[in-house]
Amino acid sequence: MNKRSKLIPSIALAKNKMLVQDAEIKQNIKIYPELKELIPPLQGEELEQLENNILKEGCREPLLYWHNVSTDEFILIDGHNRYGICKKHHIDFNLKPITLSNFDEAKNWMIDNQLGRRNLSKEQKIYLVGIRYNQEKNTHGGNRKTGEGQNTESVNSAERIGKENNMSPKSVKRAAHFAEGLDNIGESNPELKKQILTGKQKVRLSDIETLSEARDHLKIKNSDQIKIEAEKIKTEKREKLNNKLNSKPTARINETKLKLEVDNLLSTKDERKLKILKNIVNLAQEMIQEYSTDN
């Protein structure tokens, strides 16, 4: 018996083993709602067209999954719409594994994958960019600051994510507030959240951003209530600021002294002082933006 004939049974056994394993994964594949929400749902004609294509030609592209070794779970990462159609009509599908380190990396991979597609609405793109930034910020421990008082990691993340998605760092941070605000809406009204993301329900983005600051659980019944709740938060912020200024008149800024301090910083070549000045400018810009938004 030659070497080739000896290899044939081994190859056949390996294939059978892979088929059995593949079937087991299909039976036990897990869908996390938290991850599924990152996939923009197909609407109307798009969903109907995909369903018709699969009925005619089968599911041609493999569904991607990640084997979470720590929990021994096979988690669907890409292909949620196709998976739903295949299960509905009892159509077979192929699987392809993807290597990821942990749940956070899986989430980031899914977001980046969706942002690379062209059929996203404006709201969907902003939402995904916001989640991506918040995810990275939280992974690095939130708003940690360096000795100079600058949130370096946060700034670098905003700049990098902005470049990847043709957005300014400022827009990335606003997207983060939008994502938080929309999630607050979705807690009590997931259908309204879905309508906003698909563009069916038009709401001012700045109002949704403001809802990220809500301290209490919101119960949003409709789009009109979003504006009402946002105005409540803005009014509360203005009142707090006015009370603070009125209660501490001696703490008001001495413009002449401030000008001298700024001139002193501008004339220095000290790197540390220049960073302080940059922080002051950034803070002033944020305050101006916040004031103009509120008014």
Determine the pLDDT at residue 251: 47
220, 189 in Cβ contact below 8 A?
Answer: yes
**Residue 291, pLDDT score:** 54
How many residues can be counted in the chain? 295
Structure tokens at 84: 């739903």
User: What CA–CA distance (Å, rounded) separates 120 from 5?
Assistant: 53
Sheet holding 73-78, edge to edge: 73-78, 63-68, 95-97
Q: Which CATH number fits domain 1-103: 3.90.1530, 3.10.150, 3.10.50, 2.40.30?
A: 3.90.1530
Q: What is the pLDDT along the chain (295 residues), one digit of tens a residue?
A: 555 555 444 444 444 444 456 788 998 999 999 899 898 878 788 899 999 999 999 999 999 999 999 999 999 999 999 999 999 999 999 999 999 999 999 999 999 999 988 778 899 999 999 999 998 888 765 444 444 444 566 668 899 999 999 999 999 999 999 999 999 999 999 999 999 998 889 999 999 999 999 878 888 999 999 999 999 988 888 887 777 666 655 445 565 666 677 677 666 666 776 777 777 766 666 665 655 555 5
| Model pLDDT, residue 289 | 60
Residues 6+ apart with CB under 8 A from 3: none
pLDDT of residue 146: 43
DSSP string, 143-207: S---TTS--HHHHHHHHHHHHHTT--HHHHHHHHHHHHHHHHHHHH-HHHHHHHHHTSS---HHH
Q: 3-state class of 68 per DSSP?
A: strand
pLDDT of residue 150: 45
Structure-block tokens of residue 290: 């916040």
177 contacts 212 by C-beta, under 8 angstroms: yes
User: Which amino acid, one-letter code, is at 50?
Assistant: L
pLDDT of residue 14: 43
For Cα atoms 278, 155, 117, give the angle at the middle one, nearest 5 degrees.
Answer: 140
d(CA 277, CA 286): 14
> Coil, helix or strand for 269?
coil
